[in-house]
Amino acid sequence: MARIQKSALGSGISVITEEMPDVESSTIGIWVNTGSRNETGRLSGVSHFIEHLLFKGTDRRTALDISREIESVGGVLNAFTSREYTCFYVKVLNKDLPLAIDLLSDIFLNSKFDRKEMEKEKLVVLQEIKMVEDTPDDIIHDLFAERFWQDHPLGWSILGSSETVKSMQRVDVTGYFRSHYHTGSVFVTAAGGLKHRRVAGLLNKTLGKLKKTGVTATTSAPEPSPGVKLHKKKLEQVHLCFGVPVPPQPDPERYKVYLLNTILGSGMSSRLFQEIREKRGLAYSVYSYLNLCKDAGSLVTYAGTSSETFSAVVGLINKEYVKITEGVSAEELRNAKEQLKGGMLLGLESSDSRMTKLARDEMYFGRVVPVKEIIREIDRVTARGIKAAARRLFRPDRLTLVAIGNVDNKDLPKNLKKILI
């Protein structure tokens, strides 16, 4: 029997499972195809706020009951919100799977959205926002997204702002929940020492009874906004993000983008780490990362440096962007492929990582992408293909630079001022 199976509940909600026979744990997640990009300006942060509120009590359980019940079996109950989706998940020992499904279904279906709890939780979220705002190496990524996806919800903070969170009323939150968290936007993934038939049967008793309603919400694709935005602030360091648009997650070019990111800034052997930290000592932290969405994407380099070395670090990052358009060696590409494949395989050893992969495959590809296929596609990338992709992506007119710290436009490298400003 196939280790990965998919079926539909009576409500139409898809259930996708992967059996891992030798694993002692199971992880199950309810996924909603809605995130901060689906919000309006007035309700910015509502998806993240709903994530918090679903743990504050149901008709059957208080917030304390929910915590005690999952902790009494050593399990984990948690959630997270992204720009494109929200997930509520439980990880337990295999024997406790019925409890996990009952608890997860209860908070998703029967949360009370109590007014008093809601007002208290607003204070928690406001503290979370302040914490991010007080952490420049966190807030810089939000500032970059805001500038990069200018005037589009993809660029908004997932947490929302203090103003939008304070202004949210119960009717706003419950209305948004009803209009976005319905059978048309929900699916379930699970992985571990479980059986598909048993999981589907347990879920049919809860989620299977829902009335079929709604369709997945869609939004327009954003347009990247190249240029520069410097946030003047008295800090010990300057924190910067410097990036370019890349193809979205479902694009066949993604494997080349994965490898470009690996070569540029993934790990201590990467070009950026070696050039900026190891050779010159200009930054403690320097790396690149990918933010790939359904219809858009970015490759971003982060670095933290002093105001005196800001210009040099920006210039060196740009130099590496130019350099990679000139090509990569066979050895460098081979090492990057092995690093990428090894990291992926090591990352898929747990039930929660397998559960997450099933969900991302469903959201972005509408099918399970076998690990063997991913490895094959990585291996198919050539040095010539990498060079061609780099030349398309790392053009001067596509660059966006955002920084926070004691710098302004005069501190930019001379060769970039005409491009960025």
Q: Where does 58-207 have alpha helices with state H? A: 63-71, 97-110, 115-133, 136-148, 162-167, 170-180, 196-204
Under 8 Å between Cβ of 295 and 154: no
**Looking at the chain, how many residues does it have?**
421
In DSSP terms, 303 is beta-bridged to 240, 286
Annotated catalytic, 320? no
220 CB neighbour count, 10 Å cutoff: 10
CA end-to-end span of the chain: 59
Give the residue among 394, 135, 413 at the shortest CA–CA distance from 243: 394
Instruction: Point out the catalytic residue in the list 19, 51, 117, 320.
Output: 51
How far CA 61 is from CA of 64, 67, 102, in Å, comes to 8, 10, 11
What is the spatial distance between Cα 403 and Cα 70, in angstroms, rounded to a whole number? 42
119: burial class by Cβ within 10 Å (0-12, 13-18, 19+)?
Answer: exposed
Under 8 Å between Cβ of 83 and 154: yes
CA-derived radius of gyration, the chain: 23
What is the spatial distance between Cα 53 and Cα 64, in angstroms, rounded to a whole number? 13
Residues annotated as catalytic (active site), given as ranges:
51
